[in-house]
Amino acid sequence: MNKSELVTFLASELKTSKLQASRVLDTVLAGVHKGLREEGTVTITGFGTFEVKNRKPRVGRNPHTGEPIQIEAGKRVGFRVGKGLKQLI
List, in sequence order, every residue forming a beta bridge with 69; answer none if it has no partner. 60
Sequence-separated (6 or more) residues with CB below 8 Å from residue 11: 17, 18, 20, 21
Q: Domain residue spans in the chain?
A: 1-39, 41-89
**What's the confidence (pLDDT) of residue 51?**
97
Q: Does residue 40 have a pLDDT over 90?
A: yes
At the second CATH level, the architecture of 41-89 is: Irregular (4.10)
User: Is the predicted pLDDT of residue 89 greater than 90, yes or no?
Assistant: no
* pTM listed for this prediction: 0.78
